[in-house]
Amino acid sequence: MADKTVTVANLYKSFGAHSVFEDTSADIETGSVFGLVGLNGSGKTTFIRLLLGLLRPGRGGVRVLGFEPWLHKQEYYRRVGVILEHDGFAGNLTVARNLRVFGDAKGLPWRQVEAYVDDQWSGTFIHKELRGSATKVKHLSRGQKMQCALCRAFLPQSDAFFLDEPTVALDVDAIDHFYSLVNSARNRGATVLISSHQLSAIQELCDTVGMLHDRAIHILKPDARKEKFRSWLIRCAGDEKYKAIIEAGCGAPAEYRNGCWRFAAADPATVVPKIVSGLASAGCDITEVRPDEEAIKEKMRTLSRGPGG
Amino acid sequence: MKQAGTIVGKEWACFTGSEKGVFVVYAVLVFVWSFLPRYNAAGGPGFLSGLWWLSLSVIVSSGFANSVFAAERISGSMEILLTCGFSRNAVVLGKTAFVVLVSFVLGAVCLLLSLAWAMGNLQAYLVQAAMTDLLLYSGGAFMGAAAGAWMSIRFSSPRIMPFANLFLVIVICAAYYVAAQFIPMSEWVLFLMTALAGSVFLWRAIKDFHGEKVIAPVDI
Protein backbone atom coordinates (compact mmCIF):
# COMPACT_ATOMS: atom_id res chain seq x y z
CA MET A 1 0.00 0.00 0.00
CA ALA A 2 2.60 2.51 -1.08
CA ASP A 3 -0.05 5.17 -1.78
CA LYS A 4 -1.12 5.23 1.86
CA THR A 5 1.30 6.72 4.34
CA VAL A 6 -0.96 6.02 7.30
CA THR A 7 -3.20 3.00 7.60
CA VAL A 8 -5.33 2.54 10.69
CA ALA A 9 -7.44 -0.60 10.70
CA ASN A 10 -10.05 -1.57 13.28
CA LEU A 11 -8.30 0.31 16.02
CA TYR A 12 -9.35 -0.06 19.63
CA LYS A 13 -7.82 1.99 22.38
CA SER A 14 -8.98 2.59 25.90
CA PHE A 15 -7.62 3.96 29.16
CA GLY A 16 -9.12 1.82 31.87
CA ALA A 17 -12.87 1.89 31.38
CA HIS A 18 -12.71 4.94 29.13
CA SER A 19 -12.75 3.94 25.49
CA VAL A 20 -11.23 6.42 23.00
CA PHE A 21 -11.35 4.40 19.78
CA GLU A 22 -13.62 1.51 18.87
CA ASP A 23 -13.16 -0.28 15.58
CA THR A 24 -11.79 2.90 14.04
CA SER A 25 -10.30 2.79 10.56
CA ALA A 26 -8.72 5.54 8.49
CA ASP A 27 -6.19 6.00 5.72
CA ILE A 28 -4.07 9.02 4.89
CA GLU A 29 -2.83 9.19 1.36
CA THR A 30 0.79 9.81 0.54
CA GLY A 31 1.41 13.38 -0.58
CA SER A 32 -1.70 14.80 1.06
CA VAL A 33 -2.42 17.12 3.95
CA PHE A 34 -4.90 15.65 6.40
CA GLY A 35 -6.71 17.87 8.87
CA LEU A 36 -7.78 16.30 12.13
CA VAL A 37 -10.47 18.17 14.02
CA GLY A 38 -12.68 17.35 16.95
CA LEU A 39 -14.04 18.68 20.18
CA ASN A 40 -11.90 18.83 23.28
CA GLY A 41 -11.21 15.35 24.61
CA SER A 42 -12.26 13.62 21.41
CA GLY A 43 -8.88 11.88 21.09
CA LYS A 44 -6.84 13.95 18.61
CA THR A 45 -3.66 13.90 20.66
CA THR A 46 -4.20 10.24 21.51
CA PHE A 47 -4.49 9.50 17.79
CA ILE A 48 -1.20 11.27 17.07
CA ARG A 49 0.47 9.48 19.98
CA LEU A 50 -0.70 6.16 18.54
CA LEU A 51 0.79 7.09 15.17
CA LEU A 52 4.05 7.92 16.93
CA GLY A 53 4.23 4.73 18.95
CA LEU A 54 3.97 6.60 22.22
CA LEU A 55 0.80 4.65 22.93
CA ARG A 56 0.12 1.04 22.07
CA PRO A 57 -3.05 0.12 20.19
CA GLY A 58 -5.35 -2.06 22.27
CA ARG A 59 -6.41 -4.00 19.18
CA GLY A 60 -6.20 -3.38 15.48
CA GLY A 61 -3.35 -2.19 13.35
CA VAL A 62 -1.53 1.09 12.90
CA ARG A 63 1.05 1.40 10.13
CA VAL A 64 2.91 4.52 9.11
CA LEU A 65 5.38 4.59 6.22
CA GLY A 66 5.29 0.79 6.33
CA PHE A 67 6.40 0.73 9.98
CA GLU A 68 4.51 -0.41 13.01
CA PRO A 69 5.08 2.62 15.28
CA TRP A 70 4.83 0.71 18.54
CA LEU A 71 8.02 -1.20 17.66
CA HIS A 72 9.91 2.09 18.11
CA LYS A 73 12.24 1.62 15.16
CA GLN A 74 14.86 4.34 14.89
CA GLU A 75 14.50 4.31 11.07
CA TYR A 76 10.84 5.22 11.50
CA TYR A 77 11.47 8.19 13.79
CA ARG A 78 14.13 9.51 11.45
CA ARG A 79 11.45 9.80 8.77
CA VAL A 80 8.81 11.67 10.77
CA GLY A 81 8.59 15.26 11.93
CA VAL A 82 6.61 15.99 15.04
CA ILE A 83 4.98 18.88 16.87
CA LEU A 84 3.56 18.01 20.24
CA GLU A 85 2.48 20.01 23.24
CA HIS A 86 6.03 20.87 24.34
CA ASP A 87 8.52 22.41 21.92
CA GLY A 88 11.09 19.85 23.05
CA PHE A 89 13.97 22.32 23.18
CA ALA A 90 16.35 22.40 26.13
CA GLY A 91 15.98 25.84 27.70
CA ASN A 92 19.61 26.11 28.79
CA LEU A 93 20.92 25.57 25.25
CA THR A 94 20.96 27.90 22.28
CA VAL A 95 18.75 27.36 19.26
CA ALA A 96 21.74 26.21 17.23
CA ARG A 97 22.91 23.73 19.87
CA ASN A 98 19.40 22.30 20.14
CA LEU A 99 19.13 21.93 16.37
CA ARG A 100 22.48 20.19 16.33
CA VAL A 101 21.18 17.64 18.84
CA PHE A 102 18.02 16.99 16.82
CA GLY A 103 20.06 16.82 13.62
CA ASP A 104 22.26 14.19 15.26
CA ALA A 105 19.14 12.27 16.26
CA LYS A 106 18.08 12.11 12.62
CA GLY A 107 21.60 11.31 11.48
CA LEU A 108 21.95 14.64 9.65
CA PRO A 109 25.38 16.24 9.35
CA TRP A 110 25.46 19.77 10.77
CA ARG A 111 26.21 21.30 7.37
CA GLN A 112 22.96 19.82 6.08
CA VAL A 113 21.04 21.36 8.96
CA GLU A 114 22.71 24.71 8.23
CA ALA A 115 21.85 24.42 4.54
CA TYR A 116 18.23 23.66 5.45
CA VAL A 117 18.00 26.72 7.71
CA ASP A 118 19.65 28.89 5.05
CA ASP A 119 17.21 27.64 2.47
CA GLN A 120 13.93 27.44 4.38
CA TRP A 121 14.35 29.90 7.24
CA SER A 122 16.30 32.82 5.80
CA GLY A 123 15.02 36.14 7.08
CA THR A 124 13.69 34.63 10.28
CA PHE A 125 15.12 34.91 13.78
CA ILE A 126 16.15 31.25 13.61
CA HIS A 127 18.48 32.05 10.74
CA LYS A 128 20.01 34.87 12.77
CA GLU A 129 20.42 32.54 15.72
CA LEU A 130 22.44 30.17 13.59
CA ARG A 131 24.48 32.97 12.10
CA GLY A 132 25.73 34.79 15.13
CA SER A 133 23.20 35.24 17.92
CA ALA A 134 23.34 32.76 20.73
CA THR A 135 20.13 33.21 22.67
CA LYS A 136 19.22 30.48 25.10
CA VAL A 137 15.86 28.97 24.25
CA LYS A 138 14.48 29.74 27.70
CA HIS A 139 14.71 33.45 26.84
CA LEU A 140 12.59 33.13 23.69
CA SER A 141 8.92 34.02 23.46
CA ARG A 142 6.28 31.34 23.14
CA GLY A 143 5.79 32.05 19.45
CA GLN A 144 9.53 31.89 18.81
CA LYS A 145 9.69 28.55 20.60
CA MET A 146 6.90 27.28 18.36
CA GLN A 147 8.89 28.41 15.32
CA CYS A 148 11.90 26.51 16.67
CA ALA A 149 9.69 23.45 17.06
CA LEU A 150 8.53 23.84 13.44
CA CYS A 151 12.13 24.19 12.33
CA ARG A 152 12.93 20.95 14.13
CA ALA A 153 9.87 19.14 12.78
CA PHE A 154 10.63 20.05 9.17
CA LEU A 155 14.29 19.00 9.28
CA PRO A 156 15.21 17.26 6.01
CA GLN A 157 14.57 13.59 5.27
CA SER A 158 11.12 13.39 6.82
CA ASP A 159 8.33 11.81 4.78
CA ALA A 160 5.52 12.25 7.28
CA PHE A 161 4.67 15.07 9.65
CA PHE A 162 2.36 14.87 12.64
CA LEU A 163 1.61 18.33 13.90
CA ASP A 164 -0.51 18.88 17.00
CA GLU A 165 -1.72 22.50 17.17
CA PRO A 166 1.20 23.83 15.11
CA THR A 167 -0.10 27.40 14.74
CA VAL A 168 -0.49 28.19 18.44
CA ALA A 169 1.16 31.53 19.30
CA LEU A 170 2.44 32.13 15.76
CA ASP A 171 2.25 35.65 14.31
CA VAL A 172 0.96 36.30 10.78
CA ASP A 173 4.38 36.03 9.16
CA ALA A 174 5.13 32.81 10.97
CA ILE A 175 1.75 31.38 9.95
CA ASP A 176 2.47 32.24 6.31
CA HIS A 177 5.83 30.56 6.67
CA PHE A 178 4.17 27.52 8.19
CA TYR A 179 1.78 27.33 5.23
CA SER A 180 4.71 27.45 2.82
CA LEU A 181 6.51 24.67 4.72
CA VAL A 182 3.43 22.46 4.57
CA ASN A 183 2.83 23.16 0.88
CA SER A 184 6.47 22.54 0.09
CA ALA A 185 6.34 19.22 1.97
CA ARG A 186 3.20 18.21 0.07
CA ASN A 187 4.75 19.19 -3.25
CA ARG A 188 7.66 16.86 -2.69
CA GLY A 189 5.31 14.00 -1.85
CA ALA A 190 5.42 14.07 1.93
CA THR A 191 2.31 13.50 4.03
CA VAL A 192 1.19 15.96 6.68
CA LEU A 193 -1.34 15.48 9.46
CA ILE A 194 -2.45 18.66 11.21
CA SER A 195 -4.54 18.58 14.34
CA SER A 196 -5.95 21.96 15.18
CA HIS A 197 -8.93 23.91 16.46
CA GLN A 198 -8.12 26.70 14.02
CA LEU A 199 -10.55 25.73 11.30
CA SER A 200 -9.44 28.48 8.92
CA ALA A 201 -5.98 26.91 8.73
CA ILE A 202 -7.49 23.46 8.35
CA GLN A 203 -9.83 24.65 5.63
CA GLU A 204 -7.08 26.38 3.71
CA LEU A 205 -4.31 23.82 4.00
CA CYS A 206 -5.89 20.42 4.11
CA ASP A 207 -6.87 18.19 1.22
CA THR A 208 -8.91 15.98 3.48
CA VAL A 209 -10.47 16.73 6.84
CA GLY A 210 -11.53 14.13 9.37
CA MET A 211 -13.36 14.70 12.60
CA LEU A 212 -12.86 12.54 15.64
CA HIS A 213 -16.21 11.99 17.23
CA ASP A 214 -17.83 9.19 19.14
CA ARG A 215 -14.68 7.00 18.98
CA ALA A 216 -14.45 7.13 15.19
CA ILE A 217 -13.06 9.33 12.42
CA HIS A 218 -15.70 10.92 10.19
CA ILE A 219 -14.52 12.43 6.92
CA LEU A 220 -15.93 15.96 6.68
CA LYS A 221 -14.07 17.02 3.58
CA PRO A 222 -13.02 14.41 1.04
CA ASP A 223 -9.94 15.01 -1.03
CA ALA A 224 -10.99 17.54 -3.68
CA ARG A 225 -8.10 16.57 -5.96
CA LYS A 226 -9.31 13.00 -6.04
CA GLU A 227 -13.05 13.43 -6.00
CA LYS A 228 -13.27 16.88 -7.59
CA PHE A 229 -15.49 17.73 -4.68
CA ARG A 230 -16.38 21.31 -3.94
CA SER A 231 -19.11 22.28 -1.58
CA TRP A 232 -21.31 25.24 -2.54
CA LEU A 233 -24.12 27.10 -0.90
CA ILE A 234 -27.09 28.98 -2.35
CA ARG A 235 -29.35 30.88 0.04
CA CYS A 236 -32.96 30.92 -1.12
CA ALA A 237 -36.33 29.30 -0.37
CA GLY A 238 -36.46 25.56 0.20
CA ASP A 239 -38.90 24.81 -2.57
CA GLU A 240 -38.79 21.27 -3.99
CA LYS A 241 -38.71 22.56 -7.55
CA TYR A 242 -35.48 24.41 -6.75
CA LYS A 243 -34.01 21.19 -5.44
CA ALA A 244 -34.73 19.52 -8.77
CA ILE A 245 -33.00 22.37 -10.65
CA ILE A 246 -29.91 22.20 -8.43
CA GLU A 247 -29.63 18.43 -8.56
CA ALA A 248 -30.05 18.43 -12.32
CA GLY A 249 -27.34 21.08 -12.60
CA CYS A 250 -24.72 19.51 -10.37
CA GLY A 251 -25.63 15.86 -10.82
CA ALA A 252 -25.47 15.26 -7.08
CA PRO A 253 -27.93 15.34 -4.18
CA ALA A 254 -28.73 18.78 -2.74
CA GLU A 255 -29.56 19.32 0.89
CA TYR A 256 -31.58 22.18 2.38
CA ARG A 257 -30.35 23.27 5.79
CA ASN A 258 -30.40 26.55 7.73
CA GLY A 259 -32.05 28.42 4.84
CA CYS A 260 -29.50 27.28 2.26
CA TRP A 261 -29.22 24.69 -0.44
CA ARG A 262 -25.88 22.88 -0.19
CA PHE A 263 -24.45 20.79 -2.95
CA ALA A 264 -21.22 19.46 -4.40
CA ALA A 265 -20.07 20.84 -7.74
CA ALA A 266 -17.42 18.90 -9.64
CA ASP A 267 -16.75 21.85 -11.95
CA PRO A 268 -17.98 24.94 -10.08
CA ALA A 269 -17.00 27.43 -12.80
CA THR A 270 -19.49 25.84 -15.20
CA VAL A 271 -22.06 24.29 -12.90
CA VAL A 272 -22.77 27.10 -10.42
CA PRO A 273 -23.67 29.84 -12.99
CA LYS A 274 -25.88 27.31 -14.77
CA ILE A 275 -27.74 26.48 -11.54
CA VAL A 276 -28.09 30.14 -10.57
CA SER A 277 -29.44 30.96 -13.99
CA GLY A 278 -31.91 28.06 -13.78
CA LEU A 279 -33.11 29.12 -10.34
CA ALA A 280 -33.52 32.75 -11.44
CA SER A 281 -35.54 31.65 -14.45
CA ALA A 282 -37.80 29.67 -12.10
CA GLY A 283 -38.48 32.85 -10.11
CA CYS A 284 -36.23 32.01 -7.18
CA ASP A 285 -35.12 34.92 -5.02
CA ILE A 286 -31.43 34.20 -4.41
CA THR A 287 -29.75 36.20 -1.62
CA GLU A 288 -26.35 34.52 -1.44
CA VAL A 289 -24.14 32.28 -3.54
CA ARG A 290 -20.74 31.20 -2.28
CA PRO A 291 -18.45 28.26 -1.67
CA ASP A 292 -19.54 26.48 1.47
CA GLU A 293 -16.52 27.67 3.42
CA GLU A 294 -18.09 27.00 6.77
CA ALA A 295 -18.89 23.45 5.88
CA ILE A 296 -16.36 21.98 8.27
CA LYS A 297 -17.50 24.06 11.20
CA GLU A 298 -21.14 23.35 10.55
CA LYS A 299 -20.55 19.66 9.92
CA MET A 300 -18.61 19.47 13.18
CA ARG A 301 -21.53 21.01 15.02
CA THR A 302 -24.05 18.76 13.31
CA LEU A 303 -21.99 15.68 14.02
CA SER A 304 -21.31 16.53 17.64
CA ARG A 305 -24.97 17.27 18.35
CA GLY A 306 -26.02 13.93 16.91
CA PRO A 307 -29.28 13.07 15.15
CA GLY A 308 -31.95 15.57 16.06
CA GLY A 309 -29.45 17.65 18.02
CA MET B 1 26.45 4.22 21.47
CA LYS B 2 27.09 7.38 19.46
CA GLN B 3 23.55 8.55 20.17
CA ALA B 4 23.99 7.93 23.90
CA GLY B 5 27.10 10.11 23.62
CA THR B 6 25.03 12.84 22.00
CA ILE B 7 22.56 12.68 24.89
CA VAL B 8 25.41 12.88 27.41
CA GLY B 9 26.81 15.90 25.54
CA LYS B 10 23.41 17.58 25.46
CA GLU B 11 22.82 17.06 29.18
CA TRP B 12 26.32 18.21 30.00
CA ALA B 13 25.82 21.38 27.98
CA CYS B 14 22.49 21.94 29.73
CA PHE B 15 24.16 21.58 33.11
CA THR B 16 27.06 23.87 32.31
CA GLY B 17 24.57 26.38 30.91
CA SER B 18 22.73 26.53 34.26
CA GLU B 19 22.45 29.63 36.38
CA LYS B 20 25.35 30.38 38.74
CA GLY B 21 23.21 29.51 41.76
CA VAL B 22 23.22 25.85 40.78
CA PHE B 23 27.01 25.71 40.86
CA VAL B 24 27.13 27.56 44.17
CA VAL B 25 24.80 24.99 45.76
CA TYR B 26 26.90 22.06 44.55
CA ALA B 27 30.15 23.80 45.53
CA VAL B 28 28.90 24.37 49.08
CA LEU B 29 27.64 20.79 49.29
CA VAL B 30 30.96 19.32 48.15
CA PHE B 31 32.96 21.65 50.39
CA VAL B 32 30.97 20.85 53.52
CA TRP B 33 30.83 17.13 52.79
CA SER B 34 34.60 16.89 52.45
CA PHE B 35 35.23 17.46 56.18
CA LEU B 36 34.01 14.19 57.72
CA PRO B 37 36.86 12.07 56.35
CA ARG B 38 39.20 14.43 58.20
CA TYR B 39 37.28 13.63 61.39
CA ASN B 40 37.71 9.95 60.67
CA ALA B 41 41.38 10.46 59.99
CA ALA B 42 41.67 12.05 63.40
CA GLY B 43 40.31 8.89 65.00
CA GLY B 44 36.55 9.21 64.47
CA PRO B 45 34.27 6.22 63.82
CA GLY B 46 35.64 4.86 60.55
CA PHE B 47 32.47 2.93 59.64
CA LEU B 48 30.69 6.23 59.09
CA SER B 49 32.82 6.89 56.07
CA GLY B 50 30.91 4.53 53.77
CA LEU B 51 27.54 5.91 54.84
CA TRP B 52 28.82 9.44 54.38
CA TRP B 53 29.87 8.85 50.79
CA LEU B 54 26.79 6.86 49.91
CA SER B 55 24.58 9.62 51.26
CA LEU B 56 26.38 12.21 49.17
CA SER B 57 26.14 10.05 46.09
CA VAL B 58 22.39 9.67 46.49
CA ILE B 59 21.84 13.36 47.17
CA VAL B 60 23.85 14.38 44.12
CA SER B 61 22.62 11.70 41.72
CA SER B 62 18.98 12.15 42.75
CA GLY B 63 19.23 15.85 42.08
CA PHE B 64 20.56 15.31 38.59
CA ALA B 65 18.21 12.40 37.87
CA ASN B 66 15.37 14.67 38.89
CA SER B 67 16.34 17.25 36.31
CA VAL B 68 17.15 14.92 33.39
CA PHE B 69 14.40 12.35 33.86
CA ALA B 70 11.56 13.66 36.01
CA ALA B 71 11.61 17.27 34.81
CA GLU B 72 11.58 16.20 31.16
CA ARG B 73 8.68 13.90 31.82
CA ILE B 74 6.73 16.55 33.72
CA SER B 75 7.28 19.22 31.06
CA GLY B 76 6.37 16.87 28.21
CA SER B 77 9.66 17.29 26.37
CA MET B 78 10.36 13.58 26.88
CA GLU B 79 7.79 12.85 24.16
CA ILE B 80 9.82 14.86 21.67
CA LEU B 81 13.06 13.19 22.71
CA LEU B 82 11.53 9.76 22.19
CA THR B 83 10.18 10.58 18.73
CA CYS B 84 12.93 12.69 17.21
CA GLY B 85 15.17 9.84 16.06
CA PHE B 86 17.06 8.74 19.16
CA SER B 87 16.66 5.12 20.12
CA ARG B 88 14.94 4.74 23.47
CA ASN B 89 17.87 2.77 24.85
CA ALA B 90 20.17 5.65 23.89
CA VAL B 91 17.94 8.08 25.77
CA VAL B 92 17.94 6.00 28.98
CA LEU B 93 21.60 5.02 28.84
CA GLY B 94 22.78 8.49 27.80
CA LYS B 95 20.89 10.23 30.58
CA THR B 96 21.97 7.65 33.16
CA ALA B 97 25.57 7.92 32.02
CA PHE B 98 25.39 11.70 32.34
CA VAL B 99 24.07 11.49 35.92
CA VAL B 100 26.78 8.98 36.86
CA LEU B 101 29.47 11.06 35.16
CA VAL B 102 28.60 14.40 36.72
CA SER B 103 28.04 12.76 40.12
CA PHE B 104 31.42 11.08 39.84
CA VAL B 105 33.11 14.39 39.03
CA LEU B 106 31.57 16.05 42.08
CA GLY B 107 32.44 13.04 44.26
CA ALA B 108 36.02 13.01 43.04
CA VAL B 109 36.37 16.71 43.81
CA CYS B 110 34.94 16.11 47.28
CA LEU B 111 37.35 13.25 47.87
CA LEU B 112 40.34 15.29 46.73
CA LEU B 113 39.31 18.08 49.08
CA SER B 114 38.98 15.64 51.95
CA LEU B 115 42.45 14.33 51.21
CA ALA B 116 43.71 17.90 51.20
CA TRP B 117 42.16 18.57 54.61
CA ALA B 118 43.77 15.37 55.95
CA MET B 119 47.15 16.18 54.51
CA GLY B 120 48.71 16.57 57.93
CA ASN B 121 47.53 13.10 58.93
CA LEU B 122 47.58 11.29 55.63
CA GLN B 123 48.98 8.10 57.13
CA ALA B 124 45.70 7.40 58.84
CA TYR B 125 43.56 8.21 55.90
CA LEU B 126 45.10 5.74 53.52
CA VAL B 127 44.86 6.14 49.81
CA GLN B 128 43.39 2.64 49.69
CA ALA B 129 40.56 3.74 51.94
CA ALA B 130 40.01 6.72 49.69
CA MET B 131 39.71 4.42 46.72
CA THR B 132 37.18 2.25 48.55
CA ASP B 133 35.20 5.36 49.40
CA LEU B 134 35.25 6.46 45.76
CA LEU B 135 34.10 3.02 44.73
CA LEU B 136 31.24 3.13 47.22
CA TYR B 137 30.37 6.59 46.03
CA SER B 138 30.34 5.44 42.40
CA GLY B 139 28.12 2.47 43.23
CA GLY B 140 25.72 4.76 45.04
CA ALA B 141 25.71 7.25 42.16
CA PHE B 142 24.97 4.51 39.67
CA MET B 143 22.16 3.18 41.81
CA GLY B 144 20.76 6.67 42.34
CA ALA B 145 20.83 7.42 38.61
CA ALA B 146 19.28 4.11 37.56
CA ALA B 147 16.68 4.16 40.31
CA GLY B 148 15.91 7.76 39.33
CA ALA B 149 15.32 6.70 35.73
CA TRP B 150 12.95 3.98 36.82
CA MET B 151 11.16 5.99 39.51
CA SER B 152 10.65 8.93 37.17
CA ILE B 153 8.38 6.65 35.13
CA ARG B 154 6.83 4.58 37.86
CA PHE B 155 5.98 7.35 40.29
CA SER B 156 2.95 9.43 39.44
CA SER B 157 4.67 12.17 41.40
CA PRO B 158 8.32 11.96 40.28
CA ARG B 159 9.38 14.81 42.53
CA ILE B 160 9.41 12.49 45.55
CA MET B 161 12.14 10.52 43.80
CA PRO B 162 15.07 11.93 45.88
CA PHE B 163 13.37 10.88 49.11
CA ALA B 164 12.65 7.41 47.75
CA ASN B 165 16.27 7.16 46.65
CA LEU B 166 17.50 8.14 50.08
CA PHE B 167 15.20 5.59 51.68
CA LEU B 168 16.55 2.94 49.31
CA VAL B 169 20.15 3.59 50.25
CA ILE B 170 19.25 3.54 53.93
CA VAL B 171 17.61 0.12 53.52
CA ILE B 172 20.63 -1.25 51.66
CA CYS B 173 23.09 0.16 54.18
CA ALA B 174 21.04 -1.13 57.09
CA ALA B 175 20.96 -4.59 55.56
CA TYR B 176 24.71 -4.48 55.03
CA TYR B 177 25.63 -3.22 58.49
CA VAL B 178 23.28 -5.64 60.25
CA ALA B 179 24.68 -8.54 58.22
CA ALA B 180 28.21 -7.31 58.92
CA GLN B 181 27.54 -7.73 62.66
CA PHE B 182 27.28 -11.46 62.15
CA ILE B 183 29.44 -12.13 59.10
CA PRO B 184 32.53 -9.98 58.72
CA MET B 185 32.56 -8.51 55.24
CA SER B 186 34.39 -5.72 53.51
CA GLU B 187 32.77 -2.57 52.13
CA TRP B 188 33.24 -4.07 48.70
CA VAL B 189 30.11 -6.08 49.42
CA LEU B 190 28.24 -2.85 50.00
CA PHE B 191 29.52 -1.59 46.66
CA LEU B 192 28.38 -4.80 44.98
CA MET B 193 24.94 -4.46 46.58
CA THR B 194 24.50 -0.94 45.21
CA ALA B 195 25.86 -1.91 41.81
CA LEU B 196 23.52 -4.88 41.64
CA ALA B 197 20.53 -2.79 42.70
CA GLY B 198 21.54 -0.16 40.12
CA SER B 199 21.74 -2.80 37.38
CA VAL B 200 18.27 -4.11 38.22
CA PHE B 201 16.83 -0.59 38.21
CA LEU B 202 18.51 0.20 34.90
CA TRP B 203 17.13 -2.96 33.33
CA ARG B 204 13.65 -2.08 34.58
CA ALA B 205 14.00 1.52 33.39
CA ILE B 206 14.99 0.43 29.88
CA LYS B 207 11.97 -1.86 29.82
CA ASP B 208 9.64 0.87 31.05
CA PHE B 209 10.96 3.40 28.55
CA HIS B 210 9.58 1.11 25.85
CA GLY B 211 6.14 1.18 27.44
CA GLU B 212 3.30 3.67 27.69
CA LYS B 213 4.03 4.76 31.22
CA VAL B 214 6.86 6.97 30.05
CA ILE B 215 4.28 9.50 28.87
CA ALA B 216 1.64 8.88 31.51
CA PRO B 217 0.24 11.98 33.23
CA VAL B 218 2.05 13.07 36.39
CA ASP B 219 1.02 14.80 39.58
CA ILE B 220 2.92 18.01 40.06
User: In a structure prediction context, what are the per-residue pLDDT tens digits for chain B, which is 220 residues long?
Assistant: 788 999 999 999 999 988 899 999 999 999 988 887 655 555 555 555 677 888 889 999 999 998 899 888 888 889 999 999 999 999 999 999 999 999 999 999 988 888 787 766 655 555 677 788 888 899 999 999 999 999 999 988 877 888 899 899 889 988 998 998 898 888 889 999 999 999 999 999 999 999 998 888 777 6
Q: Do domains A4-224 and A228-305 have the same CATH topology?
A: no
A-proximal residues of B, 81-100, CB under 8 Å: 81-88
Report the gap between the CA of A157 and the closest CA in chain B (Å): 11
ipTM of the complex: 0.86
**CA pair distance B150, B144, nearest whole angstrom:** 10
Residue A228: pLDDT above 50? no
Q: Kindly report the CATH number that applies to the domain delimited by A228-305.
A: 3.30.70
Q: If phi over 0 gives left and psi between -120 and 50 gives alpha, with beta otherwise, what is residue A88?
A: left
Contact B191, B139 (CB under 8 A): yes
Residues 6+ away with beta carbon under 8 Å from B186: none
Per-residue pLDDT, A289: 87
* Residues on chain A touching B83 (C-beta within 8 angstroms): 52-54, 77, 80, 82, 84
- Name the residue among A34, B208, B206, A87 with its Cα closest to residue A51: A34
pLDDT of residue B40: 59
pLDDT at residue A36, as a whole number: 93
pLDDT for position A1: 43
Give the three-class secondary structure for A251.
coil
Question: Which residues on B lie below 8 Å from A52 (Cβ)?
Answer: 79, 83
**What confidence tens digit (pLDDT) does each residue in A69-103 have?**
999 999 999 999 999 988 889 999 999 999 999 99
* Mean pLDDT of the A12-37 span: 92
CB A162 within 8 A of CB A69: no
Domain boundaries, chain A: 4-224, 228-305
pLDDT tens track for A239-250:
889 999 999 998
Fold category of A4-224 in CATH: Rossmann fold (3.40.50)
Provide the number of CB pairs (under 8 Å) joining chain A to chain B. 83
- With beta carbons less than 8 A apart as the criterion, state whether B212 and B158 touch: no
Q: Are B147 and B165 in contact (CB under 8 A)?
A: yes
pLDDT at B18: 87
- B76/A86 Cβ within 8 A: yes
In chain A, what percentage of residues exceed pLDDT 70?
Answer: 94
B87 contact residues in A (CB cutoff 8 A): 72, 74
Give the model confidence (pLDDT) of A139-173 as tens digits: 999 999 999 999 999 999 899 999 999 998 899 99
